Structure 1
Amino acid sequence: MARQITASNGKINIAIDGPAGAGKSTVARRVAEALSYVYVDSGAMYRAATWYLMKHEISPENVQEVLQHVPKMVIELKPDPSGQKVICNGVDVTTEIRSLEVTGTVSKYASIAGLREHLTSGQRQMAERKGVVMDGRDIGTTVLPDAELKVFMTASVKERALRRFKELRETADITLEQLERDIAARDKLDEEREVSPLRRSEDAIMLDTTHMDIDEVVDTIVSYCKTAIGWRG
């Protein structure tokens, strides 16, 4: 369970990590809403960077050119009644960054050290005042290693593919079998990259959500947070 800590302002930072398709973004957003915290979708930031670089026809293999463009990218996460808007250089890319093209390429760009360092710096600044729920691949290990609560969300490849299939079946022409292959390949890329690979922090709580619905997962993480800060409400 989460260790009990003393939060000077009554709030802590929560890091939620896990592989592709584990449902981190949806769960993290709802946990933040339940606790009146700020939600930071680090994955959306990498997707926005990917969208920008693909739009400018810059290959992830061309690291030097990628790094030349990094300072030119201004990525903003803005609260929205429907969840969160992602703005890149003034353009709302909330929908575009969820395309299959971006999904299939984001891991390649995310493995570039200079790009990660740039985005990580911004993410840490967002968490300085506490009361942040941040999800991604390396939040507990690299971005917020001092987060008071760390959760590593996972689920079987088959279950993660099924969840993604339900999201995409009305907007994308892709089979469940292809999604399973894509997610397994994404896992391999994330786990084997040299810079900030996907791994569970030693002090993170492992949460297998294969047989849990979203409400159960959210309630479980909220209970971890309340335990950590000695919530009496």
Structure 2
Amino acid sequence: MGHTSTRTNHSAGESARLVIAVDGPSGSGKSSVCQEAARRLGAHYLDTGAMYRAATWYCLDRELDLDDQDAVAVALEELPLKISTDPDHQVIMVGATDVTEAIRQSRISEKVSEVANNRKARPLLISAQRDIIDASEFIVAEGRDVTTVVAPDAQVRVLLTASAEVRLARRGLQLGGSASSEALNRQVIGRDKRDSVTTNFTEAADGVGVLDSSDLSFDQTVDSLIERVRDVQETDPAGVSRPTVSAQAKSGSEPTSGAAAHGKNL
């Protein structure tokens, strides 16, 4: 599986080997929260769910039967994926095709679990995710099993969650009220149920802190995550130095619109 990641340099300060891993169910806000936290911290940002979505798009574009696990795994060995880790400029390319918007379509949302739960294909994507994280000195990575499988040794590990009612409401806002309650349940509750076959993202593993955003605003949730990062930086354990966050990193080096609601992606 071919893959590359790109990011422009946000911070001119001291670099540090620091990994922030965040997992959570659909609609918990992990993508928008983690992207904003990375922006403020001057860190790289990896949306692992986008990689599964891109893989799903690739398979559907080739009209593969997603139930054929062998065919999907063989196809993904050749997946020409390029994903940006710049929180201000998220671009996902498959070959020469920009799929950044296409992978958010309902047809992908309703099929991505079939690829994510493919036990022959999943290791390929996990390996690619680890490569991207290992190549980054300071990164916020989020998904379903980042805290337990992809980066279990991350210095900061958080399970970001919210009540089912709140998650459904957030996903409805994200879709602009265009989805029926049945479709929302299918995208949020149904997908979580399907994905729970291979990963446990509803309960925190040992050493993973819980951040419940049910009663928190977007900014409060971001602040809480950053506070946990700062706690680790202040403790300054062996192998972790304190990255300097420049004013440019906090504001973003390129004009970009901030996420107005939780659950921007996955």
Same fold (TM over 0.5): yes
Q: Which residue of 1 aligns with 2:216?
A: 212
Q: Which of 42, 64, 84 does residue 58 from structure 1 map onto? A: 64
Query: Is 1:107–1:189's contact at 8 Å kept on the other side of the alignment?
Result: yes
Query: Is 2:54–2:99's contact at 8 Å kept on the other side of the alignment?
Result: yes
Q: Which of 129, 154, 157 does residue 161 from structure 2 map onto? A: 154
How is 1:13-92 mapped onto 2 (pairs within 5 angstroms)? 13-78=19-84, 83-92=89-98
Task: Give TM-score scaled by structure 2 length.
Answer: 0.78
Residues 232, 15 of structure 1: alpha-carbon distance in 2 compared, 3 angstrom cutoff? closer
Q: Which of 148, 155, 174 does residue 179 from structure 2 map onto? A: 174
- After TM superposition, give the deviation of residue 176 of structure 1 in Å: 3.4
Provide, for residues 19-60 of structure 1, a one-character-per-residue CA deviation record: whole Å limited to 9, x for no partner.
Answer: 011111111111111111100110000000001111111122
Which sections of structure 2, spanning at least 5 residues, go unmatched? 1-13, 235-241, 245-266
Query: Is 2:45–2:87's contact at 8 Å kept on the other side of the alignment?
Result: no
Percent of aligned pairs with the same amino acid = 32
Residues 227, 178 of structure 1: alpha-carbon distance in 2 compared, 3 angstrom cutoff? same
Inter-partner Cα distance in structure 2 for 1:106 and 1:137: 13
- After TM superposition, give the deviation of residue 226 of structure 1 in Å: 0.7
Inter-partner Cα distance in structure 1 for 2:138 and 2:86: 18
Inter-partner Cα distance in structure 1 for 2:192 and 2:75: 27
Residues 125, 169 of structure 1: alpha-carbon distance in 2 compared, 3 angstrom cutoff? same
Q: Which residue of 2 aligns with 1:115?
A: 121
Residues 10, 65 of structure 1: alpha-carbon distance in 2 compared, 3 angstrom cutoff? closer
Q: Secondary structure at the match of 1:72?
A: coil
Q: Secondary structure at the match of 1:229?
A: helix
Kindly indicate which of the two structures has a greater share of residues assigned to helix.
1
| Runs of 4+ displaced beyond 6 Å | none
Inter-partner Cα distance in structure 1 for 2:125 and 2:229: 26
Q: Considering only aligned residues, what root-mean-square deviation do their CA atoms show, in Å?
A: 2.1
- After TM superposition, give the deviation of residue 167 of structure 1 in Å: 1.4
Task: Give TM-score scaled by structure 1 length.
Answer: 0.88
Greater CA deviation, 150-159 or 179-188? 179-188
Q: How many residues align?
A: 222
How is 1:96-111 mapped onto 2 (pairs within 5 angstroms)? 96-111=102-117
Residues 78, 177 of structure 1: alpha-carbon distance in 2 compared, 3 angstrom cutoff? same
- Equivalent AA in structure 1 for residue 179 of structure 2: I
Inter-partner Cα distance in structure 2 for 1:175 and 1:73: 33
Residues 80, 206 of structure 1: alpha-carbon distance in 2 compared, 3 angstrom cutoff? closer
- After TM superposition, give the deviation of residue 181 of structure 1 in Å: 4.5
Query: Is 1:49–1:73's contact at 8 Å kept on the other side of the alignment?
Result: yes
Inter-partner Cα distance in structure 1 for 2:126 and 2:103: 19
Q: Which residue of 2 aligns with 1:135?
A: 142
Query: Is 2:22–2:158's contact at 8 Å kept on the other side of the alignment?
Result: yes
- After TM superposition, give the deviation of residue 201 of structure 1 in Å: 2.3
Query: Is 1:137–1:197's contact at 8 Å kept on the other side of the alignment?
Result: yes
Inter-partner Cα distance in structure 2 for 1:178 and 1:46: 20
Q: Which of 186, 202, 208 does residue 206 from structure 2 map onto? A: 202
Residues 105, 76 of structure 1: alpha-carbon distance in 2 compared, 3 angstrom cutoff? same
Query: Is 2:23–2:144's contact at 8 Å kept on the other side of the alignment?
Result: yes
Query: Is 2:109–2:187's contact at 8 Å kept on the other side of the alignment?
Result: no
Q: Secondary structure at the match of 2:121?
A: helix
Inter-partner Cα distance in structure 2 for 1:54 and 1:174: 22
